Amino acid sequence: MDRAFKSIWFTPAALTLIVAAIFITYSNTFYVPFQFDDLTSIVENRELRSLGSVAARIHGPRGVSAFTFALNYAFGGFNVTGYHAVNILIHTLNAIAAYFLVFQTLKLVDETTEDWPAQHHFGRRGSLDITISVNQSGAGRTRKIAFFASLLFALHPIQTQAVTYIVQRQESLASLFYLAALLFFIAGARRTAGAGRTALYTCAAASYALAFHSKEMAFTLPAAVFLYDIYFISKGRIKALSGRWPLYLALIILMAIFLVRTVAPLISTAALEPQHNAVTAQDLSVEAGKTKYRIPGITPLKKAPSAGFGVTNVSPKEYLLTQFNVIVYYLSLLVVPVNQNIEYDFPISKDLFSSPAKNPGAILNIPILPPIVSLVILSAIIMIAVFLFFRSAKKSNPAMRTISFFILWFFILISPTSSVMPINDVIFEHRVYLASLGVFVIFVILIVRFFERLAAKPEKIGGA
């Protein structure tokens, strides 16, 4: 089996398998009708019926996502098959990009190991040992971890909402450009200075702009790039970052522009909802394939903000306290994905030390404890990440560094929707879409190490 992972043909075979697995898994979703926000963001949105109108505001909030919906309408009207096909294609590209990100990361972490002190095991005999060095098994282990992590990312049930809920193409499309920006950055950093590096860094900055204008969750990309640089390229040396100052300057300028244009208005009453006009019932008589259905007419109403400090159904304090429990719940869904829901009846926390009141009939997988308990759990996980980073620098342990990075990756990606900025819906599974990759990488690394230790035990016994 290990011979297959070492073959030069493994990567194309693995990617073919991932593509086939995604198609089989989501093949029953092509005719799922528009749901919930699909109606207001796509069906009722008259702007999408004109490519010119959408193209004119492509640089606005979620304009890139809106343009892809407009393309769908231009080629197939309201036939949902085309919309689902594009969503599945984007998810497939994300899984492929995830494979190459993990593969390149493991290669980098092994290449930089020689610049750190000599490697030692983490812990003594009988304690936790997560040492993994790509030097020991070459590209085979690297491909193995990258394949299984990306396969988990592709097929895990928690991704269902981001793939099958048409409007949440916004999440997956932003994730695609987010991953592309990181891959362009890695490729540029590995090149010597010149036109090639400049072109790759330009592509990284452009991908950041496309990601943000697909969905605001991409705001965190500069933090992810900086962290990746420290962990895997600069080898822990801050001075080594100076050679990439043009890219960081571009990212900071873009971040400032995004803050002023989009994020800052949320401090008042602005919402993240796409611009659209309410229309009559006659306008909403649409055809999806051979099925015709009618959506009830809508009376024009002024919408209340769905995000920002203008949200009235939950205060910033309550939202933050609730998010401690929400993040722990996300982690529980990644471990045991049961009782999934598109709209959770999640209890709002009022006090740090009190358990929130759960509504009768609400179905949740784990008891919702006082936010302080979740805060302690999350703080401990972050402290483990920090400990593993400094430990890896001292012991030159690639696995520790990789696990540490992907722990922080999870928290960076989840931070835009799990902070002090209130959003009407406190929990949505699609928000953990790209963040989940970090958990899958860590899980696969630990499982691979477990089976390697298990396989090594007979040899130790025989040698004794």
Per-residue confidence of the chain (464 residues) as pLDDT tens digits? 567 777 778 889 999 999 999 999 999 999 999 999 999 999 998 888 888 888 888 888 889 999 999 999 999 999 999 999 999 999 999 999 999 999 999 988 776 554 443 333 333 333 333 333 334 455 678 899 999 999 999 999 999 999 999 999 999 999 999 999 999 999 999 887 788 889 999 999 999 999 999 999 999 999 999 999 999 998 777 777 888 888 999 999 999 998 887 767 766 544 444 444 444 444 455 555 545 545 544 444 445 566 656 677 788 899 999 999 999 999 999 999 999 998 899 999 999 999 998 888 888 999 999 999 999 999 999 999 999 998 887 767 788 899 999 999 999 999 999 988 888 889 999 999 999 999 999 999 999 988 878 877 665 545 44
How many CB atoms are closer than 10 A to CB 215?
A: 25
Alpha-carbon span 22 to 87, nearest angstrom: 11
| Conformation bin of residue 167: beta by default, left when phi > 0, alpha when psi is -120 to 50 | alpha
- What pLDDT, on a 0 to 100 scale, did the predictor assign at position 282? 46
Alpha-carbon span 354 to 370, nearest angstrom: 5
SS3 202: helix
| Conformation bin of residue 223: beta by default, left when phi > 0, alpha when psi is -120 to 50 | alpha
Q: Which long-range contacts (CB under 8 A, 24 or more apart) does 289-297 make?
A: 289/31, 289/79, 289/80, 289/81, 293/33, 295/39, 295/43, 295/44
The helices-and-strands tally (H runs, E runs) of the chain is: 17, 2
Which two three-digit tokens encode residue 85?
């096909």
Which two three-digit tokens encode residue 223?
């933090």
Q: Is the four-CA dihedral 221, 224, 226, 232 of positive or negative sign? A: negative
Alpha-carbon span 409 to 226, nearest angstrom: 11
CA distances to 113, 138, 249, 253, 386 from 211, in Å: 32, 34, 18, 15, 28
**Upper half-sphere CA count for residue 144 (Cβ side, 13 Å):** 22
Residues 6+ apart with CB under 8 A from 55: 67, 70
At position 215, the amino acid (one-letter code) is K
DSSP string, 186-230: HHHHTSPSSHHHHHHHHHHHHHHHHHHTT-GGGGGHHHHHHHHII
SS3 273: coil
Alpha-carbon span 384 to 378, nearest angstrom: 10
The closest of 167, 177, 116 to 393, measured between CA atoms, is 116
How many CB atoms are closer than 10 A to CB 324?
A: 23
Alpha-carbon span 48 to 44, nearest angstrom: 9
249 alpha-carbon distance from chain centroid: 24
CA distances to 18, 22, 92, 416, 445 from 15, in Å: 5, 11, 9, 31, 19
Prediction pTM value: 0.87
Alpha-carbon span 420 to 319, nearest angstrom: 6
Q: Are strands 291-294 and 285-288 parallel, antiparallel or unpaired?
A: antiparallel
The closest of 33, 17, 31 to 95, measured between CA atoms, is 17
Nearest 5 degrees, angle CA 424-CA 408-CA 368? 45
At position 383, the amino acid (one-letter code) is M
Alpha-carbon span 110 to 413, nearest angstrom: 25
- What pLDDT, on a 0 to 100 scale, did the predictor assign at position 351? 94
**Upper half-sphere CA count for residue 366 (Cβ side, 13 Å):** 17
320 alpha-carbon distance from chain centroid: 20
Contact 339, 365 (CB under 8 A): yes
- What pLDDT, on a 0 to 100 scale, did the predictor assign at position 131? 38
Residues 6+ apart with CB under 8 A from 300: 277, 278
At position 449, the amino acid (one-letter code) is R
Alpha-carbon span 370 to 360, nearest angstrom: 18
- What pLDDT, on a 0 to 100 scale, did the predictor assign at position 424? 84
- What pLDDT, on a 0 to 100 scale, did the predictor assign at position 8? 79
